[in-house]
Amino acid sequence: MDEQNTENRFEFLKGDKVLWMVILVISIFSIFPVYSASSNLEYIVNNGTTTGHVIKHMFFVVLGLAIMRLVGTIKYEYIGKLSSILLGLMIVLLVVTMFTGQTIDGASASRWLKIPGTPISFQPSSFAFLMLIIYLCRYLTKKITRERLPIENIMYIFGPILLVFVLVAKDNGSTALMILMVSVVVLVIGQLHWKYIAGFISASFVAIVLFLLIALNTNMIGGNRVHTWMSRVETFTSSKAKSADVDDESVKAKNYQVMQAKAAIVHGGITGMGPGKSALKQMLPQSASDFIFAVIVEEYGVIGAAFLICLYLIMMIRIVMIASKMPAFFGSLLVLSLGVMIFIQLSVNIAVAINLIPVTGQPLPLISYGGTSMLVTYLQLGIILNISSRIQIYDEEGMGKKQSIAEINDIA
């Protein structure tokens, strides 16, 4: 009787219960560092109030959880079938963003597209990234029955990847590179022949070099941020140098963000200064988004940061477990691919905060202030939870770990 009551109590949390709990804990925890760090937006950027920002953040948390639960009611196969249409729509929006994009919250890149007649803005690049990965997973599953012709790979795999990369790269270089990285991982997991993957990597390298050369030496790509990227790489290498040149004032000025982040981490120590007691959040640009991990370490210490990282680690382990238990190839491939997206974004954000890589604009999943990135992460997790809820159904239908070609094609 008690076991039945327990099952009814958690029936609303459709899918992997452990993953649900981790998501809820991180979502609730995110409110506290965002409330503390958003004071930077009020007093430094002069944008809104701290209370207004935390209410907005809480709204997106609730909306994200609702979307995540709603996605669980839709068969993930349908999402795969719609991915090509949605990807095409996102590509159109990326083109529109190139000409009418806006900047918000002190950002320097025109990545946001405003919905006409409303004050709402969003980043099409985040949604395009997600739709591209779902599209690749489905295409690789549908075409697993035979050897693909080179022209098919160029048109239906490499073409969409490079098109999204080019449209995103102008204003969001870090996301564009992540698109290439995750796409290559998806192609490997999706069992595309190694010779095509090697060819794609080579073509991508050539495309990146050409893009940089054109952007640095001509005016053909107006408004690009290549000089900003080069400056960040130069600043990063300078900060890692062992010579006396790192004491130069110009280097310190360029390295201001990282220096403040490192100072915040050191200031936090083992136990931290306490919630809301960060002393460096007002001097740390983008403290509520890109560098929120530094604020977390300062306020909650190494212990708090380690606890948060453990939660993310549990999330990744559950994602891998779901993928390994899922008998459907499309479902397993999609879970792993979405997990890779979240893991890379998480790793990049933390690596920037502790100065392991040059500064980028990647948020901390489920925590950083920003509606688009949060909703996309909740969408990713919603799809993963959706797939996890289908494992028992497939078992009940008698599907084993190995599938016939007919079953694979029917699922995708």
For the chain, the domains span: 17-398
From the CB of residue 210, how many other CB atoms can be counted at a distance below 10 Å? 10
pLDDT for position 244: 40
pTM for this entry: 0.86
Q: How many CB atoms lie within 10 A of CB 25?
A: 15
Show contacts of 279-286: CB within 8 Å, 24+ apart: 281/36, 281/37, 281/39, 281/40, 282/39, 282/40, 282/43, 282/44, 284/37, 284/40, 284/257, 284/260, 285/40, 285/44, 285/106, 285/256, 285/257, 285/260, 286/106, 286/107, 286/257, 286/361
Read off the tokens for 228.
Answer: 């900003």
Q: Report the distance separating Cα 380 and Cα 396, nearest Å.
A: 26
pLDDT at 321: 94
Q: What share of the chain is helix, strand, coil (3-state, %, to 5)?
A: 70, 0, 25
pLDDT of residue 225: 64
Token pair for 167: 């449209």
210, 216, 219, 339 from 206: Cα distances, Å = 6, 15, 20, 28
Residue in this structure with the two tokens 């190494």, named with its chain if needed: 302
Q: Residue 11: its pLDDT value, please? A: 61
Structure tokens given for 311: 């939660």
Residue with tokens 């238990």: 325
Rounded Cα distance between 300 and 351, Å, is 18
Cα separation, 370 vs 298, in Å, equals 21
CA atoms within 13 A on the CB side of 327: 17
What are 102's strand-pairing partners? 112
Sequence-distant (6+) residues with CB within 8 A of 156 are 139
pLDDT for 22-72, tens place per residue? 999 999 999 999 988 887 776 666 677 888 888 999 999 999 999 999 998
Tokens representing residue 142 in the block: 């549908």
- Put residue 403 in one of left, alpha, beta given phi > 0 → left and psi -120 to 50 → alpha: beta
**Looking at this protein, which amino acid is placed at residue 257?**
Q
Nearest CA among 137, 139, 141, 133 for reference residue 165: 133
Predicted confidence (pLDDT) per residue in 321-350, tens digit: 999 998 888 999 999 999 999 999 999 999
Handedness of CA 391, 395, 396, 398 (dihedral sign): positive
Q: Is 213 exposed, middle or buried (0-12, 13-18, 19+ CB in 10 A)?
A: exposed
CA–CA distances in Å: residue 375 to residues 58, 63, 220, 369 = 12, 8, 34, 11
Angstrom distance (rounded) from CA 377 to CA 375 = 5
How far apart are alpha carbons 177 and 159 in whole angstroms? 16
Name the residue type at position 358.
P
Q: How many CB atoms lie within 10 A of CB 341?
A: 23
CA-CA-CA-CA dihedral for 180, 186, 189, 194, to nearest 10: -50
Spell out the per-residue pLDDT of the chain, length 412, in tens.
454 554 455 567 788 899 999 999 999 999 999 988 887 776 666 677 888 888 999 999 999 999 999 998 888 889 988 999 999 999 999 988 887 766 555 454 556 777 776 667 778 889 999 999 999 999 998 866 566 778 888 889 999 999 999 888 877 888 888 999 999 999 999 888 888 899 889 988 888 888 778 877 777 666 566 666 677 777 667 666 554 454 555 555 556 777 888 888 888 888 888 888 887 777 777 777 788 998 999 999 999 999 999 999 999 999 999 999 988 889 999 999 999 999 999 999 999 888 888 878 789 999 998 888 899 999 999 999 999 988 866 554 444 444 444 444 444 4
Position 132 scores a pLDDT of: 96
Q: Encoding tokens for residue 379?
A: 């969408």
DSSP per residue, 318-370: HHHHHHHH--SHHHHHHHHHHHHHHHHHHHHHHHHHTTSS----PPPTTTSS-
Alpha-carbon span 332 to 107, nearest angstrom:
37
